[in-house]
Amino acid sequence: MTIDTFLFLTFSIFALISALMVVTLVNAVHSVLFLILVFCNVAGLLLLIGAEFLSFMFLIVYVGAIAVLFLFVVMMLNVKINLSPLNLASLIPLGSLILFILLQQLNSTTNIFKLFLPHGYQPILINWISEEENISNAKVIGNLLYTDFSLLFLLSGLILLIAMLGAILLTMHQRTDVKKQKIELQLVRNPIGVIKFVRLRK
């Protein structure tokens, strides 16, 4: 087994395990975090097959925007954890049907089952050492993104920053039983009654 096949199987197995954790975990925040891990593993698979632009866009769009938006929505909605037991036996027929259709599609397009054979089919992957001197499409798009479209790129980052700050402010719970320093009340106080001289008896 070559290093490319090992990385392919590693990313695939972690993506499947993370996807399984997304649909089985009770906590919605944990599910979103495992969804981000699924996106990262799929981006690694795209990078292995030579689609580096799709891989980077997958990280930027899905991990950097959509998954973070999901996390903001879950935080703002304050979803309660449902502790009622889930009947997993009722989901087995539908899950088995979806899994069978998915495996049939994978087998018909990539013949993925031959990867597990001793001398089976080996995927054609990119040798990055030989491609080091060539200019990839990610470099060309990066040059355009950070030169001609740098203002739009910075504005999009500013919009995401404002959205993040708004989500944090909306999810903060103000406590009324905590004594806090109010500077505006201290500044508008009357200076006459600030200092009081008390004569003590001897």
CB of 72 closer than 8 Å to CB of 164: yes
Residue 56 in this model has a pLDDT that exceeds 90: no
In a domain, 167, yes or no: no
Provide the whole-model pTM. 0.53
| 114-163 per-position pLDDT tens digit | 655 555 555 566 666 666 667 777 777 788 888 888 898 899 889 988 98
Tell me which residue of 185, 129, 110, 101 sits closest to 4, measured CA to CA: 129
Report the C-alpha gap between 29 and 25 in whole angstroms: 9
What the block records as the tokens of 42 is 């799929």
Residue 82: predicted pLDDT: 63
| 69-99 per-position pLDDT tens digit | 777 777 777 666 666 666 767 778 888 898 8
DSSP 136: P
- The number of domains in the chain is 1
Report the C-alpha gap between 125 and 1 in whole angstroms: 13
Task: Determine the structural domain holding residue 74 and report its residue range.
Answer: 3-129
In a domain, 122, yes or no: yes
When pLDDT is cut at 50, 70 and 90, the band that residue 46 belongs to is: confident
Q: What is the number of residues in the chain?
A: 202
What the block records as the tokens of 153 is 């790129």
Residue 118: predicted pLDDT: 55
In a domain, 200, yes or no: no
CATH assignment at residue 33: 1.20.120.1200
Residue 116: predicted pLDDT: 56
